[in-house]
């Protein structure tokens, strides 16, 4: 039997004769896939390959014959495999951006060695960053690690200090134009900062937040968010506070609320705990909807308008205190949250769990992902394996 797989540059012919004999290129990608060693390009090629039904059958046969038992492909359906590949592609692309930046830094460092000598290089290497760190990017593009033992405050824009593991900005009365910084928080970590107007911002895992180092009187206090954050906004009736995301924004004067907008979710959620605010779907250009405390607004980017629902706000905001509460939570939603909290990849091969609704409270400061899985194993009768940062539920 012959099965053809086409990519941009070539046609690959796969021959199956009493077993599976594969094109070496794809076979090597599969082997690297199991070793969690694929680049984003290789993952995309494997994804393109298995999207063709005949090729997916070849993939399954090859894995079964070569005894890759850890994947339990008898339970590993095509949809789960596609989801994992898409997750890994996003993760590898994020890592690749960091590596590219690091290479640029090394190139610049090599040039500076000639001018300033080795003493400068020793200092330069201190800002070499890693995707596991919380990174602040200044207005000049300089990178500063925020979860280091000591933050290099002299490299930051604005009048800033640290108090109780919080970055605190003070208002600069002499500033006439906005100077903006961006903080990127990787999966598995959180961060908080105090803006120049006194507004507290708690950033959750996997978030990117852009903000002025000092607000200016008479101009809206506008910030940009991708990910999740809780805002305790300092009251100011003259200067509106706005949070802008991919397809929505909120407008407040003084209030407390949670804003979630992860790009992969394709929707945003706003949960109001105190005060009042307005929410708008900027993709459909809907009218602004005013929330009351206890309301949850959901902006679905594939739809129009804003959906409003009354909720228990604690379920959505307790993460700022290190507690994640699940109440009647769909297993797939829970998995997404656990991946962000613990910076892991979770593959659910247990179809029976899709009908389960989970109730649990996790103390993220003291409980590891293993503790969480052991609890689920005991209560919901699942079993799991951990391979590097990948968890397979069977």
CA nearest neighbour of 40 among 98, 101, 80: 98
pLDDT of residue 82: 78
pLDDT of residue 22: 59
Q: Tens place of pLDDT for every residue, the chain, 394 residues? A: 333 333 333 333 333 333 444 567 888 888 778 777 788 888 888 888 888 888 888 887 777 665 454 444 444 567 777 777 777 777 776 666 545 544 544 454 444 334 444 333 334 333 344 468 999 999 999 999 998 878 888 888 999 998 877 899 999 988 888 999 999 999 999 999 999 999 999 999 999 999 999 999 989 999 999 999 999 999 988 899 999 998 898 999 789 999 999 988 889 999 999 999 999 888 888 888 999 999 999 998 877 789 999 999 999 999 999 999 999 998 889 999 999 999 999 999 888 888 888 889 999 999 999 999 998 888 888 889 998 789 999 8
Contact at 8 Å (CB) between 370 and 364? Answer: no
DSSP 246-257: SSEEEEESS-EE
Cβ atoms within 10 A of the Cβ of 210, count? 16
Q: Where in the sequence of the chain do the CATH 2.60.120.1440 domains occur?
A: 133-316
pLDDT of residue 314: 93
Record: fold of 322-393: Phage tail protein beta-alpha-beta fold (3.55.50)
Rounded to whole angstroms, the Cα distance separating 55 from 72 reads 18
Helix (H, G, I), strand (E, B) or coil at 112: helix
Contact at 8 Å (CB) between 389 and 92? Answer: no
pLDDT of residue 305: 80
Identify any residues that bridge with 325 across adjacent strands, giving them in sequence order. Answer: 361
CATH code assigned to 133-316: 2.60.120.1440
pTM: 0.67
Q: Where in the sequence of the chain do the CATH 3.55.50.30 domains occur?
A: 322-393
Instruction: Fill in the DSSP letter of residue 386.
Output: E
CA nearest neighbour of 342 among 130, 186, 146: 186
Contact at 8 Å (CB) between 243 and 210? Answer: no
Identify any residues that bridge with 226 across adjacent strands, giving them in sequence order. Answer: 208
- Cα 267 to Cα 5, 89, 199, 298: the distances in Å are 35, 21, 25, 7
Rounded to whole angstroms, the Cα distance separating 34 from 202 reads 37
Give the 3-state DSSP-derived string for 147-184, with helices as H, strands as E and coil as C.
CCCCCCHHHCCCEEEEECCEEEEECCCCCCCCCEEEEE
pLDDT of residue 291: 94
Q: At what angle do helices 331-342 and 369-380 cross, to 10 degrees?
A: 160
Return the C-alpha torsion angle 309, 313, 319, 325, nearest 10.
-80
């Amino acid at each position: 039997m012959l099965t053809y797989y086409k990519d941009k540059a070539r046609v690959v012919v796969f021959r199956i004769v009493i077993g599976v004999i594969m094109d070496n290129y794809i076979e090597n990608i599969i082997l690297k896939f199991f070793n969690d060693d694929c680049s984003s390009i290789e993952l995309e090629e494997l994804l393109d390959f298995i999207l063709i039904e005949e090729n997916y059958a070849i993939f399954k046969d090859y894995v079964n014959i070569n005894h890759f038992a850890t994947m339990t492909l008898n339970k590993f359906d095509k949809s789960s495999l596609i989801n994992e590949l898409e997750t890994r592609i996003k993760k590898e692309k994020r890592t690749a951006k960091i590596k590219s930046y690091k290479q640029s830094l090394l190139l610049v460092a090599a040039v500076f060695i000639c001018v300033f000598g080795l003493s400068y290089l020793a200092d330069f290497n201190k800002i070499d960053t890693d995707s596991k760190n919380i990174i602040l990017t200044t207005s000049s593009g300089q990178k500063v690690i925020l979860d280091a033992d000591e933050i290099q405050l002299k490299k930051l824009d604005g009048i800033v200090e640290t108090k109780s593991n919080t970055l605190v900005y003070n208002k600069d009365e002499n500033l006439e134009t906005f100077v903006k910084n961006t903080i990127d928080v990787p999966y598995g970590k959180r961060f908080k900062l105090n803006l120049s107007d006194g507004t507290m911002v708690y950033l959750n895992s996997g978030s990117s937040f852009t903000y002025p180092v000092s607000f200016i009187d008479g101009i809206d206090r506008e910030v940009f968010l991708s990910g999740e954050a809780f805002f305790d906004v300092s009251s100011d009736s003259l200067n509106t506070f706005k949070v802008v995301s991919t397809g929505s924004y909120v407008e407040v004067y003084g209030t407390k609320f949670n804003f979630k907008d992860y790009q992969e979710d394709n929707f945003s959620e706003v949960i109001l705990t105190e005060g009042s605010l307005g929410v708008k779907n900027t993709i459909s250009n809907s009218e602004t909807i005013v929330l009351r405390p206890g309301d949850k607004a959901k902006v679905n980017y594939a739809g129009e308008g804003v959906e409003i629902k009354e909720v228990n706000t604690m379920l959505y905001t307790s993460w700022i205190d290190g507690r994640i509460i699940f109440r009647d939570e769909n297993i797939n939603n829970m998995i997404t949250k656990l991946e962000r909290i613990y910076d892991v990849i979770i593959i659910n091969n247990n179809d029976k769990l899709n009908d389960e609704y989970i109730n649990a409270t996790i103390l993220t400061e003291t409980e590891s992902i293993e503790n969480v899985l052991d609890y689920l194993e005991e209560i919901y009768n699942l079993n799991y394996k951990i391979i590097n940062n990948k968890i397979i539920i069977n």
